[in-house]
Amino acid sequence: MKKWPTHEAYIWERVPFLRLLLPLVAGILVYRYFSVFDLSVVLAVVFISTLLFGIFAFTKSTNQLVQYLRFASLHIALIAAAWVLCYFNDIRNDKDWFANKQAKAFVARVVSTPAEKERTWKLEVEVLRTIDANTVKASEGKAFVYVFKDEHLLNIHQGDTIMLPDKWQMIKRSGNPFEFDYAAYCNRNNIYHQQFLAANEIVLFAKTLPQNLPFIQRLHNWSVAAIARYIKDEQVLGLMQAMLVGEEANMDADLRQAYSETGIIHIVAISGSHISFFFLLITFLLGWIKHKKWQWVKYIAAIPLVWVYVMMSGAPPSAVRAALMFSILGIGFAFDKSSHSLNHLLATAFILLCAEPMWLYAIGFQLSFVAVLSLILFYRPIYKLYVPVNVVLRRLWQVVAASLAAELLVSPLVVYYFHLFPLQFIVANVIAYLFMGFALIGGVLLVALSSLVPVATLLGSAIELIVSVFNGLVYGLQNVNPRAFNFLQIDGAELVLLYVVIAGIGYYLLQKNKRGLYVGLASMVVLLSLFNLDEWKALHQHNLVVYNINKINHIELIDGKKHWVINTDTIIDERKKNYVLKPAHCGYGVWNDRRYKNDRLFVVRGKKVLVLDAMDSGNSKFPVDYVVINFAARPEDIAQVQATYSPVQIVLGNNISRTKQEAIATDARTKGINIWTVSRNGTFIL
C-alpha cells in the first residue's frame, strides 16, 4: 500500500495509531446515537467492508477512485467494529441481565463498602440470581440500593449476599438546568436501576467473613485501617485515605471544595498524577542505570510496583485506567527505539477504549488523556523558554513548565465540566507537587511499617503536621481566585472551538505555519461571536424555575442577568443546594446578582403564575395560568385549587414526601387535573 510522503502527511506516518483511534472514537459516538441498529446488519457491514478493503488493498491500480474506496472501506469496517464492541459492552443486550427477566425476588452481592448518606445507606450491588415462584435463574447486572436509616445500625457489609424485592426504579435525571447528568453517568457504567427500601425489606442471605474477601479488597481495607490507626486528626485522616488509597467517604467537604477551587483536586482522587508520581519516583531511584542498553529496565521494573499501589488503593477504575496507560507507555518507551510519545499515548487510548468503550465519556479518562497529550506537545517548548543555571531553580521551573503545559489542554475541560478556572493554579500546583511527594512517600511508608509502632507513630505525627500546614495554604489560596472565575460556562460547540483555537495557534508557534494561525484566529472570531450570542440570550431571558432539590422547594425567577429567589429552605445546608444551583446559575449567567422577591403573583412570558403558600379560605376566584404549591398539600387541596384558580397546570414542589406526592398526583389524574410533580417529572421550567 502506497504511503503518503512524510512532508505531506507527517502526522499519519509518525503517529500511525491516530488512523486507528479516530474511527474507533467515531464508532463509539455512532453507538451512542444509533444503538438500535440490528447486530446482524452491523456485523454484515464489518464483513463486507473488510472484504472490500482486502480487495482494494491488493489492487495495484493507482486510480484515485480505488484509493478513496480503499480508505472508505477500511474506516467503515473500523467504525462498525467499534459499534459491535459497544453493543457487547452494553448490559442491556445481555439475555441474563436481571432487568430482562420477570422475578419476585433477587439475590445480590454487595460489591463495595456501604456509603453513608444523610437519610440512607447506599449499597452498590451485583445481581446474581432471580427468583420467580420455584424457579431460580442465574442473572447479572449492577444496581444501587438505598436503605433508609432507622434506630438500628446497618448490619450489611461488603461481600455480603442479600435478597431484594422487586421494587426497581429506573435511575432518572432530576431535570435541573445545566446539571451533571447522573443518570447518563450511571448508564455508561451499565447501572440503570435503583431501589429505596426499609431495612426490614432486605433479607441477609449470607455473610462474608473479612478473610473471604478478594485479595485486592483485603489489602485495601488493611491499608485504610493502618492509616486510621496512626492519624488522629479527622480532616488529615480523610484527605490521606482519599489521596493514598482512594477511600473518599471521610473526606471533608469544605476541604474538597478548597482543593477544587485552587486547581489541585487531581491529587485527591487516585488517577494519573499519583501513578505518574510513583512511576517517576521508581525510575528516579533506578537512575544509577546509565547505560542506554539497559534503560528499559527502569521502565519495566516500575510497572509491577505501580500495580501493587493500585491494588493497595482498591483498584478503582481511575487508578486502573492510569496504571494501564503508564504500563503501556512504559513498555513502549522500553522497547520502541523511536520513542515517539504521542504514538504511545494514542496506542494506550486505543487499547483502553477497546477494553471499555464507555471510558470515552469518563471525565477522569478525558482529563488524564489530555493532560498527558498536553505535556507531550507543549512541555519542551515551554521549558526551553527559560533554562535556569541553578539546580533548585531548574527543578522549580520544570514543575512550573509542566503545570503550564498540562493546563493548556486541561483547562477547557475543567471549565466545561466544573465551571471554574483556578487562576492561582501555578502556585498551587508547585506547592501541591512538593506536598504530594512528602505525603505519598510518607503514607506508603506508614502503611508498610505499620507493624513497627514507634516508627509508624512518628510518621503519623509528621504527616499530620505536613498536611495541616498544606491545608492552611490551600485555604489561603482559595480566596485569591476572582469570584467570576468560579462561575464560567461554555457549551459543547464552544469547547470544540476553544480546542481548535489552541491547536491552530499552537501549530503556528511550534511549526511556524501560518495556516495554523489563520485557522486559530478564524475560530477565535467564531468563538467570540458565540460568547456574544450567549450574553444576548442571557440579557433577554425570563424564566420561572422550580428546582428538583431533595426535600425542599426552591423557586427562582430568572430575569435577564438577575435571579430572584421566590422561596427557599434556609435550614438546609447551602452546599447541598449549590450542587444544583451553581450549574444553573452558571448556565443562565445569573450568579452575580441574587435578589429576593416577596410577591406571589407575577407574569412570566405573558403567563400569570401564582405561588400559593397556604390554602385560601376565602371565596374569591380569579384565573391564573400556573399555580405552584408551596405548602404541605392534601389531595382535596388540589381539587380546591383547580376550582378556585382554573390553572392550565398545577406544580407540586418538593417540600412533601415522594409518597404523598405520588398519592396527590394519582388522585389529581383521576379527576382530570393537569399536575406536575417535581420529584417525578423533574424541575419545572416556564
Percent of the chain with pLDDT over 90: 5
**DSSP assignment, residue 178?**
T
**DSSP assignment, residue 103?**
-
The Cα-based distances of 628 to 4, 210, 612, 642 in angstroms read 66, 52, 6, 12
Whether the predicted pLDDT of 175 surpasses 90:
no
Whether the predicted pLDDT of 113 surpasses 90:
no
Pairing of strands 607-612, 601-604: antiparallel
Q: Hey, how many other C-beta atoms are within 10 angstroms of the C-beta on 590?
A: 22
The residue-averaged pLDDT of 230-258 equals 77
413 versus 438: which is more confidently predicted?
413
Q: Which pLDDT band, with edges at 50, 70 and 90, does 391 fall under? A: confident
Q: Which pLDDT band, with edges at 50, 70 and 90, does 320 fall under? A: confident
Sign of the Cα pseudo-torsion (282, 284, 286, 289, in order): positive
What pLDDT score was predicted for residue 554? Answer: 84
Q: Which pLDDT band, with edges at 50, 70 and 90, does 336 fall under? A: low
Whether the predicted pLDDT of 670 surpasses 70:
yes
Quick check: 481 and 261 in contact, CB under 8 A? yes
Whether the predicted pLDDT of 218 surpasses 70:
yes
The residue-averaged pLDDT of 232-256 equals 77
- Shortest CA distance to 577 belongs to which of 554, 557, 560? 554
- What's the first-to-final CA gap in the chain, in angstroms? 60
The residue-averaged pLDDT of 221-225 equals 80
The residue-averaged pLDDT of 286-313 equals 72
* Domain boundaries of the chain, sorted by first residue: 10-89, 98-212, 221-264+422-486, 270-361, 362-418, 492-539, 542-685
What pLDDT score was predicted for residue 498? Answer: 92
Whether the predicted pLDDT of 602 surpasses 80:
yes
Whether the predicted pLDDT of 359 surpasses 50:
yes
**Chain center to CA of 585:** 20
What pLDDT score was predicted for residue 459? Answer: 85
Q: Hey, how many other C-beta atoms are within 10 angstroms of the C-beta on 427?
A: 17
pLDDT tens profile 535-558? 898 888 888 888 888 777 888 888
How far is residue 322's CA from residue 308's CA, in Å, rounded to a whole number? 13
How far is residue 633's CA from residue 668's CA, in Å, rounded to a whole number? 12
The residue-averaged pLDDT of 241-255 equals 75
Whether the predicted pLDDT of 79 surpasses 70:
yes
Whether the predicted pLDDT of 294 surpasses 80:
no
pLDDT tens profile 637-668? 888 888 888 888 888 877 777 777 788 888 88
What pLDDT score was predicted for residue 4? Answer: 46
Q: Which pLDDT band, with edges at 50, 70 and 90, does 295 fall under? A: low
What pLDDT score was predicted for residue 6? Answer: 46
- Spell 141-173 as b/e; 16+ CB within 10 A means b: bbbbbebeeeeeeeebebbbbbbbeeebeebee
Whether the predicted pLDDT of 365 surpasses 50:
yes
**94-103, 249-258, 375-384, 403-412: least confident range:** 249-258
Pairing of strands 120-132, 142-148: antiparallel
Whether the predicted pLDDT of 389 surpasses 90:
no
Whether the predicted pLDDT of 589 surpasses 50:
yes
Whether the predicted pLDDT of 268 surpasses 60:
yes
Chain length of the chain: 686
Q: What is the mean pLDDT of the chain?
A: 81
Quick check: 151 and 197 in contact, CB under 8 A? no
The Cα-based distances of 382 to 26, 272, 406, 481, 499 in angstroms read 32, 21, 11, 24, 18
What pLDDT score was predicted for residue 2? Answer: 47
Burial (Cβ within 10 Å: 0-12, 13-18, ≥19) of residue 346: buried
What pLDDT score was predicted for residue 11? Answer: 64
The residue-averaged pLDDT of 204-216 equals 75
Nearest 5°: the CA angle 100, 106, 107 is 125
pLDDT tens profile 34-64? 878 888 888 898 888 888 888 877 777 667 7
**92-106, 521-535, 619-633: least confident range:** 619-633
Percent of the chain with pLDDT over 70: 88
Whether the predicted pLDDT of 20 surpasses 80:
yes
pLDDT tens profile 64-75? 787 788 888 888
pTM above 0.85, yes or no: no
What pLDDT score was predicted for residue 407? Answer: 83
What pLDDT score was predicted for residue 532? Answer: 93
Between 2.60.120, 3.10.450, 2.40.50, 1.10.12, what CATH number should domain 98-212 receive? 2.40.50
What pLDDT score was predicted for residue 152? Answer: 62
What pLDDT score was predicted for residue 70? Answer: 81
72 versus 281: which is more confidently predicted?
72
